[in-house]
């Protein structure tokens, strides 16, 4: 039997929640089964950046996401940070890929060192050990030597380091255009068809 493509999306406490929420929306619209993980710090950032109150309970978060982005309920699952029986916590049932978007420097460091102190870190550890695609979207500037060394070691393991650096050759007119540019690059890494922004040398998506 064929298995539906599955992507885990983790939201952490770095600036850049619009990227992560837009990514979830586009994955659901593409018919991709999506597992969502989020930290308490992500809730704080969502309130500060977007004036959004993310529900604390995973079931309520699922309802909230489906209300914002109508889709088949069976495509979306939301798991708590200590939900160790979640599929993403085991190498026997890993997703096809995982994206941490945005990725805080603390989360990045924990992943680099295999800390696995919560479900986000454990799910990333599973992707590395099972050789599944792992994309980290780190939002920090400037970068210290510690940050750069952590990223280098992860890149050597095959992890994709994808800073949210929007291009301007598409002549973005809104913040949403700039968000879509980054999300499009993430979708390309996941092998998900997208038409959010024109590609280089093309005039339309």
| Ordered domains of the chain (ranges, CATH) | 6-190 (3.40.50.1950)
Report the sign of the C-alpha dihedral through residues 88, 160, 57, 33, in that order: negative
The CA distance from 6 to 144, in Å, is 34
Poorest-confidence range of 21-30, 43-52, 70-79, 112-121?
70-79
Which pLDDT score is estimated for 4?
84
Which pLDDT score is estimated for 71?
76
Residue 202 has pLDDT above 90, yes or no: no
Percent of the chain with pLDDT over 70: 98
Which contiguous run of DSSP H or E holds residue 187? helix 175-190
Structure confidence by residue, pLDDT tens digits, 95-136: 999 999 999 999 999 999 999 999 999 999 999 999 999 999
In this structure, the strands spanning 76-79 and 33-38 are parallel
The CA distance from 9 to 138, in Å, is 14
Residue 2 has pLDDT above 70, yes or no: no
Which contiguous run of DSSP H or E holds residue 8? strand 6-11
pTM, two decimal places: 0.95
Binding-site annotation: residue ranges: 13-15, 39, 104-107, 139, 169, 185
Residue with the bigger pLDDT between 2 and 167: it is 167
Binding-site annotation: residue ranges for dimethylallyl phosphate: 169, 185
pLDDT band with cut points at 50, 70 and 90 for residue 199: confident
Binding-site annotation: residue ranges for FMN: 13-15, 39, 104-107, 139
Residue 1 has pLDDT above 60, yes or no: no
Residue with the bigger pLDDT between 47 and 199: it is 47
pLDDT band with cut points at 50, 70 and 90 for residue 65: very high
pLDDT band with cut points at 50, 70 and 90 for residue 69: confident
């Amino acid at each position: 039997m064929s298995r539906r493509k599955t992507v885990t999306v983790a939201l952490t406490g770095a600036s850049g929640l619009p990227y992560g929420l837009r990514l979830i929306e586009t994955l659901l619209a593409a018919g991709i089964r999506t597992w969502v993980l989020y930290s308490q710090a992500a809730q704080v950032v969502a309130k500060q950046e977007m004036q959004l109150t993310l529900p604390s309970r995973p079931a309520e978060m699922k309802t909230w996401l489906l209300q914002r982005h109508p889709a088949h309920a069976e495509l979306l699952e939301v798991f708590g940070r200590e939900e160790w029986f979640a599929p993403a916590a085991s190498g026997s049932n890993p997703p096809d890929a995982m994206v941490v978007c945005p990725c805080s420097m603390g989360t990045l460091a924990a992943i680099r060192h295999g800390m696995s102190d919560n479900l986000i870190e454990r799910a990333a550890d599973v992707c590395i050990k099972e050789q599944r695609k792992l994309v980290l979207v780190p939002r920090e500037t400037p970068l210290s030597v510690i940050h750069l060394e952590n990223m280098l070691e992860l890149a050597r393991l095959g992890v994709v380091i994808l800073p949210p650096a929007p291009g301007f050759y598409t002549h973005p007119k809104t913040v949403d255009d700039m968000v879509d540019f980054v999300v499009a690059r993430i979708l390309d890494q996941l092998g998900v068809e997208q038409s959010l922004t024109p590609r280089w040398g093309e005039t339309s998506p």
